Structure 1
Amino acid sequence: MVLRIHFTAEDLLGTRFADGPAPLMELELAVAMLQRPGADPAFARRTRLLGATAARSVVPLTELVPVTGAGPFFLDPLSVDLEHGLESVRSSTNALVRRELDRICRNGLPVTPLMRGLANGDRQAWRYLESSLRASHSALIDAVWPRLRTGFDIDLAWRGQVQREQGLRGMLAGLYPGSRWHGSTLEIAVSRQLDFRLEGGGVLLLPSAQWTGEPLCGPLPDGPLLLVYPALTLLPHLPEEAPAPGAAPEEPVAALLGRTRSAVLRLTLREPTTSQLARELGISVASASEHARALRRAGLVSTVRAGRAVRHSCTLLGHRLLAAARSPAPQPAPAAQGRR
């Protein structure tokens, strides 16, 4: 299965990144992550930490958001803050609501009384949905919002570096493992068959630091195709809080990738196997494989099979990142002394 995005020259020129993470989009992705089996333990821990009241507030959203993350478009508008997002949800047309509810039900979600109420424009159902969105956002997003923003900024900085090294096509192909260009068509390996012809609308790229699933996409009302993909550094690997004033600055690559992932990158200078990575770092083989996969997605590591083992080696881009981190930061020139 593959997702195909057919570009024109105009589409490539119009491809850009979103201005920042979107509150309701991140909420929808968080609800999907809570339902994903085998999610990163740090994500799964969020479920256990939810209080009973907060957990109940999330339940209505699980009726609308499947584990794939592909919920109804009216539920996750791109907005600068929560209030603007909720206003967009409230102003959704009945035609859009019915069409999107029909789509998610055809894709496997059971019809519920809440869905019927929303489709019929029932005011109580819409008040119930807004209340759930507010309470769930408070429980799942508010506390981690600064880290989500950091993850977004890190990803944009890195993609800019990749684009300078490999061009726009190289950057787009590196957004998700297994992606490649076939002529002017970007093919992304996913579990479903999808085709999008942009025809001048371009693509709006939105990295999410809490989404670990396949890229999600759909046309926005104003023309571009929205493509949501996992950010380079995910929420569990972002620092819980900023360093205390006066504390030593974090090593640059660790600040970019997270401490464990930075250590994995450095170890790939020796071309280790996945088992060797796990043994050196005291982590599970599955965790070592996931870290290597993320670095491979970023173009920092390449992986080859050697018999029954898999070996990971640092790419030229990875070497450049490590070399840049070792270089001393340029010092500002001393201020010129003026005459008195």
Structure 2
Amino acid sequence: MARGKAVLRVCFTAEDLLQVTFADEPAPMVELTLAIAALQRPDPLFTLWRQRTLHALPRSAGPLLELVPATAKGPLFLDPMSRGFDDGLDQVLSIPTPFVRTELRRVHAVDRRPIPWTRLLADRDREAWQILEHAVRAAHAGLLAGSWDRIRAGFDAERAWRVQLLAAQGIRATLAGLAPGARWHGTTLEFDSTDNVEIPLNGNGITLLPSVFWTGRPLVGKYAQSTFLVYPAVTPLPLLDDPAANALAALLGRTRATILEQLTRPRTTTDLAHQLDLAKSSVSEHTKALRAAHLTTAHRDGKTVWHSCTPLGLGLLTGTLSTTRIARRP
């Protein structure tokens, strides 16, 4: 390791390695914070998205740009783990005042831009918190609401692909593959970082949370007794918006391409028929064709047949065919 290089160290025990899990779904408040950061990051991949989004973003969302910097290291009370936006916003608005003050002091110590209205947040000023609530609602409407289906599809594809890698390569290789330059020293996983940070897991394990907005180095956050590692999804949002999806539809047909996207998670024929408003017989024909092309697989559980993507199908969806081929080698 080069002298002076900042490192994020995640210290595992053997018990922690047995408790590495993937989040079930995207965390709306976390993705919102990372989207705010992406608006300020000079990332060429997000240039067109940033220009389009900033032009359309409501002015009332502006206060979040003052609270969350391009590094995404804003106050932790803004991005609690939640299963839905409303639940997450409720958690933000009910956060204990001492934690608010601690986090605002931490952020101001790093980012010295004067933000007078945040002092009112620390004092629990009612009007300041109403401004924050309106900013969060406006940012959610402008950044996430219209793109949530694509965000969820990208998350599901990423999660399914990593599970395939886990089965093929094991937990250590999968974790080291989350970011360029990641390496193991014994049971400590190191990532290049902007700060020297050491995170002991102490037998509580860690949850992996991919983001389609984040392209920086992995971030670690603690919520209650749980530790989450946020890392960039293979396919970021601008590529999910890209017309490449139309190319897949042209290759497979729109319906089969849509079914393949749905099968990043196991689903039954009934699930697909209901989700896509198709007859079961039509779904069966499409899944049969996808299975014949080795893009999906099926297994029976009693009377129920579950369909899911193969590594080849996931590679088509995520643009990672070469990596998928490597993963399939004995």
Bin of the TM-score, shorter chain as denominator length? 0.7 to 0.9
1:255 alignment counterpart? 316
1:235 alignment counterpart? 237
Between the aligned partners of 1:53 and 1:175, the Cα distance in structure 2 is: 33
The amino acid across from 1:2 in the alignment is V
Residue by residue over 1:20-52, the C-alpha shift from the partner in whole angstroms, topping out at 9 and shown as x without a partner, is 111111111011011012431xx2223332476
The offset of 1:55, in angstroms, is 4.2
- Range 49-58 or range 21-30, more displaced: 49-58
**What is the RMSD of the two structures over their aligned residues, measured on CA atoms?**
2.4
Between the aligned partners of 2:200 and 2:314, the Cα distance in structure 1 is: 38
Between the aligned partners of 2:254 and 2:55, the Cα distance in structure 1 is: 38
2:31 alignment counterpart? 26
The amino acid across from 1:9 in the alignment is A
The offset of 1:216, in angstroms, is 1.0
Between the aligned partners of 1:102 and 1:70, the Cα distance in structure 2 is: 13
2:325 alignment counterpart? 318
Counterparts in 2 of 1:145 and 1:8: CA distance versus 1, 3 Å: same
Residue by residue over 1:91-142, the C-alpha shift from the partner in whole angstroms, topping out at 9 and shown as x without a partner, is 1001110111111111124231221111000010001000010011101111
Between the aligned partners of 1:78 and 1:32, the Cα distance in structure 2 is: 18
2:210 alignment counterpart? 207
Superposed counterparts of 1:187-198, under 5 Å: 187-198=190-201
Structure 1 contact 3–194 (Cα < 8 Å) conserved: yes
The amino acid across from 1:140 in the alignment is L
Superposed counterparts of 1:91-110, under 5 Å: 91-110=94-113
Aligned residues: 265
**1:69 and 2:72 equivalent?**
yes
Secondary structure of 1:141's aligned partner: helix
The amino acid across from 1:247 in the alignment is R
Between the aligned partners of 1:235 and 1:46, the Cα distance in structure 2 is: 9
Structure 1 contact 66–109 (Cα < 8 Å) conserved: no
**1:13 and 2:18 equivalent?**
yes
1:36 alignment counterpart? 41
- Range 128-137 or range 187-196, more displaced: 187-196
Superposed counterparts of 1:105-254, under 5 Å: 105-221=108-224, 223-239=225-241, 243=249, 247=254, 249-250=256-257, 252=313
Identity over aligned pairs, percent: 44
- Range 48-57 or range 238-247, more displaced: 238-247
The offset of 1:318, in angstroms, is 2.9
Secondary structure of 1:159's aligned partner: helix
TM-score when scaled to structure 2? 0.74
Between the aligned partners of 1:152 and 1:91, the Cα distance in structure 2 is: 28
Residue by residue over 1:213-237, the C-alpha shift from the partner in whole angstroms, topping out at 9 and shown as x without a partner, is 111112211x122110001111122
Between the aligned partners of 2:85 and 2:233, the Cα distance in structure 1 is: 21
Structure 1 contact 31–65 (Cα < 8 Å) conserved: yes
The offset of 1:53, in angstroms, is 6.8
Long gaps (5+) in structure 1: 266-299, 301-316, 324-340
TM-score when scaled to structure 1? 0.72
Counterparts in 2 of 1:9 and 1:124: CA distance versus 1, 3 Å: same
Residue by residue over 1:225-252, the C-alpha shift from the partner in whole angstroms, topping out at 9 and shown as x without a partner, is 2110001111122256785996374583
Secondary structure of 2:18's aligned partner: helix
Between the aligned partners of 2:114 and 2:100, the Cα distance in structure 1 is: 14
The offset of 1:158, in angstroms, is 1.2
2:3 alignment counterpart? none
1:46 to 46, 49, 65: 49
Residue by residue over 1:196-216, the C-alpha shift from the partner in whole angstroms, topping out at 9 and shown as x without a partner, is 111122111100012111111
Structure 2 contact 8–191 (Cα < 8 Å) conserved: yes
Counterparts in 2 of 1:166 and 1:52: CA distance versus 1, 3 Å: closer
Structure 1 contact 154–232 (Cα < 8 Å) conserved: no
2:87 alignment counterpart? 84
Structure 2 contact 39–54 (Cα < 8 Å) conserved: no
Counterparts in 2 of 1:218 and 1:253: CA distance versus 1, 3 Å: closer
The amino acid across from 1:256 in the alignment is L
The offset of 1:4, in angstroms, is 0.5
